[in-house]
Amino acid sequence: MHEETQTNFDRQDHTHAELTSRTVVCFAGNDWWVHNPYTEKQWMLRLVGRGYRVLFVNSIGIGVPRLSTPKVPLRLVRKISSLLRFLWKSQGVWVFTPLLVPLWSIPFVERLNAALLTFQLRFLLRFLRMRRPVFWAGLPTAATLLDRFPHNGSVYYIQDNYLAYYDRMTFSSVAEHHASLLERCDAVICASVAMYDEVRAKRGNVHYIPHGVAKPFLEAELDRNEPPPETMQSIPHPIVGYWGSLEVLQDQALLARMAERHPEWSIVLIGQPMYDFSRLRKYPNIHFLGYLPIEEIPRYGAHFDVAVVSWVQNEWVRYSAPVKAREYYAMGKPVVAPVILEIARELPGARTAADIEEFIRAVEEELASDSPEKRRRRRSLVAHQSWDWSAGLVAGVLEGLVGHSTSERKNSGARAR
């Protein structure tokens, strides 16, 4: 009788662990309402589709932009618009914008923020009946909350080389927070293969899970059978194109040099400019098409002859994992980029260049050598890498955390293919 009762208790404990592991508090590295559909948003939507309950915490920040950063007022307005929603359910995901003081560089304010966030989160977790969720840290600052509420396992998602990027922000603890999460989280997921190799050398249970590719890119026609959209009808070929964020990372010197060296090229930039690009607007062969919904981009991208990642050369870029690179390949496009290890190692045939002159030569060569066979080959390399596929890998990591606490960690890992 005692053994049967104990077995029932064990079964109930296991079932409870399974149920609590199906809830996630995601301290995201971006804002649900402000940014394009970034990776964590894509994954959390699909986890909800798999039966998870998710509280998505809009970015608590790492620092504040320096006053010299362009369009700071616009960024603040966008953040305030998120704050006004506070707690909102979007497509099955609970989205929360916390109240805090965005001055993490001041120790007293950091402690105050931790207390404010703890109070708000404990209330919300009770309100939403999320008991012992998985703790998901999508940015280093989340380390301040790791011991603040009970959770059933923890994941650190490393999207970028944080230590190389946030020199443009006012901060003081990024390195310490990063090291703490690396040491204490039960599992680590890396967006780039270069970061995966670096982290794997330091600890176990590290997983390389690349960004997924949205269906509009995977299902787009590889051949230009449809006429171009109206805003592109007057733009002559060859077209060297880019889509995505238009911010400080854009290499304006590179784009200007391409426009000057090859006035017959049309350089098309798709995205909302969030930086001063007046230097480039004087070139008649550089075209800013503005923001487009992701569903519309393939109609425009279909008419690119070469797709570029026109970013500056630095350590953040070197370790980055641009979502657009796989989207370009899904569209069958030749890709030219600065030295980005993810592209060099994971997208065979893509070109990376160490300087402006090498970059321009690579574009020239790709324009001269592209073919229908190459386009089909590129598509085939990423055809299986949908967001559903990558979210399935994430779910596998979460399922491996059942019954784990922050102090427990498997010495294993995985490299997604």
pLDDT tens, position by position, 67-90 = 444 554 555 555 555 555 668 899
| Per-residue tokens: 78 | 């966008």
Do 167 and 231 lie in one domain? The reply is no
Residue bearing tokens 């194109």: 241
Of residues 47 and 103, the one with the higher pLDDT is 47
Do 319 and 403 lie in one domain? The reply is no
C-beta separation of 191 from 157 below 8 A: yes
Do 205 and 310 lie in one domain? The reply is no
Do 220 and 160 lie in one domain? The reply is no
Q: Provide the percentage of residues in the chain whose pLDDT is more than 90.
A: 71
pLDDT for the residue 18 = 43
pLDDT tens, position by position, 2-53 = 333 333 323 333 443 444 458 999 999 988 877 666 899 999 999 999 999 9
d(CA 218, CA 307): 16
Q: Beta 53-57 vs 206-208: how paired, if at all?
A: unpaired
CA distances from 134 to 49, 94, 150, 189 (A): 17, 15, 9, 14
The CATH number of whichever domain residue 108 belongs to comes to 3.40.50.2000
Query: Does 380 score more than 90 pLDDT?
Result: yes
CB atoms within 10 A of CB 383: 13
CB-side exposure of 75: number of CA atoms within 13 Å? 16
d(CA 265, CA 289): 16
d(CA 34, CA 13): 40
Domain tally, the chain: 2
d(CA 272, CA 70): 13
Q: For all residues of the chain together, what is the average pLDDT? A: 87
Sheet strands (E) in 194-293? 206-208, 239-243, 266-270, 286-290
67 DSSP assignment: T
Name the residue range of residue 330's domain.
215-382
347 DSSP assignment: S
Query: Does 66 score more than 80 pLDDT?
Result: no
Do 309 and 328 lie in one domain? The reply is yes
Burial class (CB in 10 A: 0-12, 13-18, 19+), 330: buried
Do 68 and 105 lie in one domain? The reply is yes
Mean pLDDT, range 219-245, rounded to an integer: 93
Do 411 and 326 lie in one domain? The reply is no
Report helix, strand or coil for 81.
helix
**Tell me, what amino acid is at 363?**
V
Task: Specify the pTM.
Answer: 0.87
pLDDT band for position 408 (cuts 50, 70, 90): very low
Do 207 and 233 lie in one domain? The reply is no
Residue bearing tokens 């982290």: 199
Residues in the chain: 417
pLDDT tens, position by position, 245-302 = 999 999 999 999 999 999 999 999 999 998 999 999 999 999 999 999 999 999 999 9
Do 189 and 278 lie in one domain? The reply is no
Do 229 and 134 lie in one domain? The reply is no
Mean pLDDT, range 403-408, rounded to an integer: 48
pLDDT for the residue 370 = 97
Do 242 and 228 lie in one domain? The reply is yes
Do 229 and 208 lie in one domain? The reply is no
CA distances from 253 to 34, 144, 237, 242, 280 (A): 28, 40, 22, 15, 9
